[in-house]
A and B are shown apart, each in its own frame.
Chain A
Amino acid sequence: MKTLAVVVTTPPYSPLTVTALSYVETALVAGINVIGVFFYQDGAMHANENISIASDEYQAIAHWQRLQQQYQLPLHICITAAEKRGIACDSIDNEQINQAFTVSGLGELVELTTKATRLVQF
């Protein structure tokens, strides 16, 4: 079976993230097996609970959360990228981290890449 993995490198306030979300949701609706999304570089900012985007703007984080719940879509953040952007990742019940996201390392990116038929970066 063909599998898809996605890498997101853009922050939650970027219009490029909207494209990534539309792409992933379209794939999920089409029944494609999306094995995970890996948030690298500024993408790690998605897991920051303190980010607040004006309510009349696109709520990227809420949409990722929805896809995670609806499709059990794994959302991995890179711990190194997150920590240097002010998201402390030292404990599991950390209030700074959005619980929809799993704190992972770059090893998870290796895992996703080797398992995926196709890898798409945003």
Chain B
Amino acid sequence: MISSDTQIEDNLSQQNGLAIINSKAPFSSDYGKDALDVALIFGSFEQKVSLFFQGDGVYQLIADQDATLVSIKDYLKTFSAFEFYDIEDIYVCQQSLVNRQLDEAFHINDVQVLASVEFGKALNSHQHVLRF
């Protein structure tokens, strides 16, 4: 039993490719943009990539932000192109939203809000992880 379970988990992690964790607020550093560039490249090479937003990274998903007010190129607008890159698995940590008193009002559709345990499980089903 144990060996077959392990086998199934191995197969799962093979299927799920790369997970990118976004852990930084959008406009105080380059991290968010650097993560986006990696996600879009994997998408354009037809490699499976999932996005995880955690900690201050959840601010990248919040609606009605205007980067141009602080003279920054609004890379968050590009998030709406995810479907064209077949990036469909987008997860956000519920606890991180609660801690920051943020509503689940996002600027893109199909974001899945997950409790910490489920968030961890989803992350764990990927073969590779990059964190920005």
Interface of A toward B, CB cutoff 8 Å: 7, 40-41, 80-81, 105-107, 109-110, 113-114, 116, 118-119, 121
Residue from the list A7, A110, A118, A119 in contact with B41, Cβ < 8 A: A110
Residues of chain A contacted by B38 (CB below 8 angstroms): 40, 106, 109
> Does any Cβ of A come within 8 Å of B34's Cβ?
yes
Residues of chain A contacted by B130 (CB below 8 angstroms): 7, 119, 121
What are 26 A-B pairs with beta-carbon distances under 8 A? A7-B130, A40-B34, A41-B31, A41-B34, A80-B37, A81-B34, A105-B41, A106-B41, A107-B45, A109-B38, A109-B41, A110-B42, A110-B45, A110-B47, A113-B18, A113-B42, A113-B47, A113-B128, A114-B47, A116-B128, A118-B128, A119-B18, A119-B128, A119-B130, A121-B130, A121-B131
Question: B-side binding surface: helix, strand, loop or mixed?
Answer: mixed
Interface residues of B in 97-132 (CB under 8 A from A): 128-131
**Sample of 9 more A-B contacts, CB < 8 Å, known A41-B34, A119-B18, A119-B129:** A41-B30, A105-B41, A107-B41, A109-B38, A110-B45, A114-B47, A119-B128, A119-B130, A121-B131
A118 and B129 alpha carbons, distance in the complex (Å):
9
Interface of B toward A, CB cutoff 8 Å: 18, 30-31, 34, 37-38, 41-42, 45, 47, 128-131
A76 and B74 alpha carbons, distance in the complex (Å):
29
A106 and B130 alpha carbons, distance in the complex (Å):
13
A105, A114, A116 pick with most chain B CB within 10 angstroms: A114
A40 and B20 alpha carbons, distance in the complex (Å):
14
Distance in angstroms from B12 CB to nearest chain A CB is: 16
Residues of chain A contacted by B45 (CB below 8 angstroms): 107, 110
In the complex formed, the residue of A with least CB distance to B130 is A121
Distance in angstroms from A115 CB to nearest chain B CB is: 11
